[in-house]
Amino acid sequence: MRVGAHVSIAGGVDNAVGRQREVGGNCGQIFTHSPQVWQDPNIDDEEAEAFREGTARDLDGPWVIHSSYLVNLCTPKDDLRAKSIDSMQKEVDAAAKLGVEYVNVHLGAHTGAGVERGISNAASALDELDVPDGVTVLVESDAGSGTKLGGDFEHLARVLDESDQELDVCLDTAHAFAAGYDLSTEVGVANAVSEFDDVIGLEHLKCVHLNDSKHECGTNKDEHAHIGEGLIGDEGMRAIVNHPDLRDVPLVLETPNEDGKGFAWNIARVKELRAN
């Protein structure tokens, strides 16, 4: 079972390996810099080598780099589009340097341009990237609030279809639940996985962000809860981690650190649900 968490790179990206082991993870996710600002990854050769060696020695992988929250691939604004493409190029280059397989990105918001143009903008922005060999961009499912795209599986499928890049998908369970896919029961999970396969294709599912939700299904509200303690709940989480089509997909947690519970507690809970 490949399960891990989004860990900090404070003090050097190589420190992420030890932090992942401390919480009981064997794969995981990082930011290469603060996701709230336009900033370039600053990773020197020594750190990169230590990260690669530590990962090979201590973890099963894969790692995922999560792009900046400021990136908006759907935007109709030329300046934001240019910044988003530049930021993504630096992320895929950093991934190659670190030996990281995946760079994860939200499609962003069309901000009034409409769904059709938003999807076209996202696909063409991704086509601007020179993605190094061994790195794949994952487009992430979204909670679908406002004009954000990616809440509907069809949005993701169309970007994959319209882009010339070899793209894959990261499914966030809390986002999908918020977008209206009821993952709170075994039947609901089975239906959602079947729909994902029909619309996108399970061969494109390379990572699951495993998060419970603090808000009801279909509310478009994105707020993560501890595994089994949100509105997806134990039944839904158990169904997800034991679904035969999801068992081999890496699970990366972005659960909160609150109520005396952090990543270690949540990863242990996932392992309990898988075993039972």
Tokens of 124: 């063409």
Specify the CATH number for the domain of residue 180: 3.20.20.150
> Is the per-residue pLDDT at 23 higher than 80?
yes
| Residue 37 structure tokens | 């600002």
Query: How many residues in total does the chain contain?
Result: 276
Question: Which residues lie across from 3 on neighbouring strands?
Answer: 251
- Domain that includes residue 174, residue range: 3-275
pLDDT band at 276 (very low <50, low <70, confident <90, very high): low
pLDDT at residue 39, as a whole number: 94
Q: Where are the beta strands (DSSP E) in the chain?
A: 3-6, 28-30, 63-66, 102-106, 136-140, 168-172, 205-209, 212-213, 224-225, 251-253
Question: In this predicted structure, what is the pLDDT of residue 275?
Answer: 76
Residue owning tokens 């081999």: 248
Count: domains in the chain: 1
Residue-by-residue DSSP string for 131-195: PPTT-EEEEEP----TTB--SSHHHHHHHHHH-SS--EEEEEHHHHHHTT---SSHHHHHHHHHH
- CB count, 10 Å around CB of 140? 20
User: pLDDT for 193-239, tens place per residue?
Assistant: 999 999 999 999 999 999 999 999 999 999 999 999 999 999 999 99
Mean pLDDT of 78-88: 98
- Tell me the mean pLDDT in the region 18-32: 98
